[in-house]
Chain A
Amino acid sequence: MGRYVLRRLLQMAFVLLGATFLVFAMVYALPGDPLAGKCGERPCSAEYVRAETERLHLDDPLPVQYGHYLKGLAQGDFGTTASGDDVLDEIKRTYPVTLRLGTIAIIFVAIVGVGAGIIAGVRRNGLFDRVSLAGTLFVISLPIFVIGTTMQYFLGIKMGLFPVTATNGSWGQLIMPGMAVGSLSLAYATRITRTSVAENLRADFVRTARAKGMPEHRVVGIHTMRNSMIPIITFLGTEFGSLLGGAIVTEGIFNIPGVGGLVFRAIALREGALVVGVATFLILIFLVVSLIIDLMYAVLDPRIRYE
């Protein structure tokens, strides 16, 4: 296990390096002057251009620029934005909010989605199964923009049940956006769980357990569930990973001060340092999350061993 983790960590370093270089190259090799449009209708003053060129090493060839960036990164310096803010500070400020949003969404998915999936799987072809099948099909077909603005309009503006936007990013404000962003995963989670449970209920060990006279709740709750969890955990894990990358559309609709909005604004304003910094951070997060998922397989299924 230790060797496996070490190997994965080493791989991660290379993936991180390659991925950040790609992002860096894409941001700074974009056609057009990165300083253009910074000063509105009139061209920027020569001194401003000079100061910014120096700050961003724009005169150097791309690999040298990247070298400067890596050097900073190794020292924990993610760079600074045009407004003089530290990129790492910006991430620290916005990240807790995205983490909260992702957590609410994934809890929502885990409870409602997986719960519905188990019921549907156990009572396959029953009324609940059919209704949830139709329901999930409907939800999957809706874009998040529609779900988000509809919830915002009816639950927020018309009924006043939730705050309309989440400008503070507190737990309470994030409940509705969390449900909105989770609703798509919810549909998938229900379907995956249903299939997985239904399949395992026909497995030999379940039949054996039943034959031994084990009560039904133990048969489903322990024997079936543990074995059904692997695809579900994989799904929830990757979903959580991508939620941590920021839900740009949802954060936009509900004005959530999270990482998604940060990235969106950074791209629109051509804040290269911010785009690359946040991307680097997100790649890192994703790599860690996927490592954790892989390690969890071994916990769930004793037959899986990592060497």
Chain B
Amino acid sequence: MRALKRGHKVVALAAAGMLLATGCGGDDDNNAGSDAQGNLTGPITEGGTVSVHGCKPERPLLPADTAEVCGGDVLDNVTAKLVRYHPETGDLENDLAESIETKDSKTFTVKLLKGVKFHDGTEVDADSFIDAWNFAAYAKNAQQNASFFSQIQGFEDVNPEDPDGDGPKDPPDPKTDKLSGLKKVNDTTFTITLTRRNSTFPIRLGYTAFSPLPESFFKDKGKSFGKKPIGAGPFKLTSFNPDREIVLEKDPNYDRARKPHIDKVIYRIYTSEDAAYADVQANQLDITNIIPTSKQLDRLYARDLGGRFATRAEGVFQSITFPPTKTDPSYSNPKLRQAISMAIDREQVIKLAFPEREPATGWVSPVVNGYKAGACGEYCTYNPERAKQLFEEAGGYNGTMTLAYNGGGNHEVWTEAVCNSIRSVLGVECIAKGSVDFASFRSAIEAKEQKGMFRTGWQMDYPSIENFLEPIYKTNASSNDGNYSNKEFDKLLNDAAAAASEEEGYALYQQAEALLAEDMPAIPLWYGAAIHGHSNKVTNVKVTVFGTYDFSSVTVIK
């Protein structure tokens, strides 16, 4: 089972006990299917069926309503978006868009490829996007990914803010059901206007929620679509049995780049990662992108699978977040936070819990453009003397520190180890505290009632340095669990978004990230990596920077 939220996969994966199933690496040495440059090394054959580890989607398969990996992975192969991410590097490539142009980073003109068709034979045109995005953003449709459209002009009219948060009063009714920032120019051209300048905006357009929708979707507001989604992607969904398997077949009309070599993909639904792993071991399942925690100890999987596995860095960031000062003022001194960070022996904990991970030196994953190593500086290096010194300067800590985690998610070992490290360096009592499950864990955090430190994780929605900073640390951002607020940081983010060139933007984002080292709202722990195993029936097996299957490379051995 996975209660996995896409875009927030990590936490959710963790809920399902899978988080720690992704070990870390960043080296491609073990990749049996490709060489160090990521080129395919196995023979390329056309056709064949590949079975992969899948899980049961939690919600109907609507692009804007799917926020977890089980449904999201399937949808990503069925739908096409304006852009896509290079599976190996995460770089942006045009897909349905012929071009996306802007002069002021505020209004973007999108020209579509002509003659592209959905799986049901209807044409992908400007309306397919405008209608789909309006549907996704409109409050009454209650789509989980609605907030992805919040930068587009007119969002607050279709999705008014609740005046008291989640409170007793309902938000006002939306004034309109159309985003004023979306304008059709002609059948293959439309414009997107944002509320403020953002040069990184096109990067997010490859996210599932931005998929175009065929006309048939709107007939019943996606009711039948949810069981049989229709997109313009390389695969079409041909059968959907949520308890057993989801079958995708190659769309014969698909002729854009990254055309798959295989004909058919079967997502076999597993409730436990161990069962999927056992099937791969016996060559009865072709690929799993999750290796059970128990098999990561001592790198057991390497022995079990022989050469049939590979690891790669993925856009995942793990941290410990401090509670909002209002909830628990005892951690409000940045020096105390830095002391705690320096008291954690990351290498040691990694060695104990997941031998392949890489310690974090900042708040941004190394897989994205704009990443700069060492943003956290000395504060993320284990240094008992300096930690103790900072701890004393901060005035120590009264009482017992707690580190909360969601129970049942394989977090016991590492949280205990982190607490041990803190205890032995700072001489303060530290307890790892598990909550019943993911839901109660998150509800306390979201209600800002969680006292003490708590574990957090982030899986990028799209490969951008911005995605690791803005949603988590900007004032009032959607995932700002620690209620971190720094005006200078916010301003730098805004300036970075409005920057004239990418490089200029990256420099500003990096400056913003550097501020986090001073304030330390969250302690960086380590970066994620995907490990996947495969059967002896397939070759050229790779996973993307998102840790998902790359069906454009895998081939069947004949």
Contacts and interface: CB of A to CB of B under 8 A. Distances in A.
B272 A255 contact: yes
A32 B446 CA distance: 11
Nearest to A169: B244
B147 interface: yes
B462 interface: no
A125 interface: no
B269 to A, nearest CB: 7
Interface string B139-158: 11111101100000000000
A84 B478 contact: no
A33 B282 CA distance: 42
A115 interface: no
A44 B162 CA distance: 12
Given A257-B244, A264-B1, A83 B144 contact: no
B300 to A, nearest CB: 13
Interface string B431-443: 0000011111111
A251 interface: yes
Contacts of B245: 167
B185 interface: no
A48 B67 CA distance: 13
B91 interface: no
Contacts of B9: 40
Interface stretch (B55-63, B93-101, B328-336, B549-557): B55-63
Contacts of A264: 1, 271
A45 B139 CA distance: 9
B72 to A, nearest CB: 11
A255 B270 contact: yes
B243 interface: yes
Contacts of B447: 33
A31 B269 contact: no
A253 B166 CA distance: 40
Interface stretch (B33-41, B273-281, B498-506, B512-520): B273-281
A167 B147 contact: no
Interface string A6-50: 000000000000000000000000011110111111111111111
A238 interface: no
A83 B74 CA distance: 15
A164 B279 contact: yes
A160 B282 contact: yes
B468 to A, nearest CB: 12
A42 B275 contact: no
B142 A51 contact: yes
Interface stretch (A99-107, A227-235, A265-273): A265-273
B170 interface: yes
Contacts of A40: 4-9, 11-12, 67-68
A94 interface: yes
A4 B438 CA distance: 48
A37 B444 CA distance: 10
Contact of B442 (A36, A85, A163, A262): A36
A119 to B, nearest CB: 35
A42 B479 contact: yes
A168 B284 contact: no
A157 B437 CA distance: 33
A82 B56 CA distance: 12
Contact of B278 (A157, A257, A261, A269): A157
Given A46-B162, A164-B284, A168-B244, A265 B5 contact: no
A34 B144 CA distance: 16
Nearest to A32: B440
Contacts of B307: none
Contacts of B133: none
B166 A41 contact: no
A152 interface: yes
B181 interface: no
Q: Name the residue in A47, A90, A251 with the highest tally of chain B Cβ atoms < 10 Å from its Cβ.
A: A47
Interface string A166-192: 011100000000000000000000000
B522 interface: no
B56 A265 contact: yes
A238 B446 CA distance: 45
B275 A252 contact: yes
B275 A82 contact: no
A165 interface: yes
A305 interface: no
B279 A45 contact: no
A254 interface: yes
A39, A94, A156 pick with most chain B CB within 10 angstroms: A39
B444 to A, nearest CB: 8
B16 interface: yes
A50 B142 contact: yes
B171 interface: yes
A257 B439 contact: no
Interface in B118-155: 139-144, 146-147
Contact of A83 (B12, B57, B279): B57
A37 B8 CA distance: 11
A93 interface: yes
Contact of B439 (A37, A168, A261): A37
B42 interface: no
A153 B442 CA distance: 37
A31 B447 CA distance: 14
A9 B348 CA distance: 63
A208 B248 CA distance: 71
A41 B279 contact: no
B26 interface: no
B284 A42 contact: no
28 contacts: A32-B444, A33-B447, A40-B5, A40-B12, A40-B68, A41-B481, A45-B143, A45-B159, A46-B139, A46-B170, A48-B143, A48-B144, A84-B60, A90-B243, A93-B241, A153-B278, A164-B275, A165-B284, A251-B271, A253-B272, A253-B274, A254-B275, A255-B270, A255-B271, A261-B271, A268-B1, A269-B3, A269-B58
Rank and list the top 8 A-B pairs by shortest CB-CB distance, nearest first.
Answer: A40-B5, A36-B443, A40-B8, A41-B8, A37-B439, A255-B275, A37-B442, A257-B243
Interface of A: 31-34, 36-51, 82-85, 90, 93-94, 149, 152-153, 156-157, 160, 163-165, 167-169, 251-255, 257, 261-262, 264-265, 268-270
Interface of B: 1, 3-9, 11-12, 15-16, 56-60, 67-68, 139-144, 146-147, 159, 162, 166, 170-171, 223, 226, 241-245, 268-272, 274-276, 278-279, 281-282, 284-285, 408, 436-444, 446-447, 456-458, 471, 478-479, 481
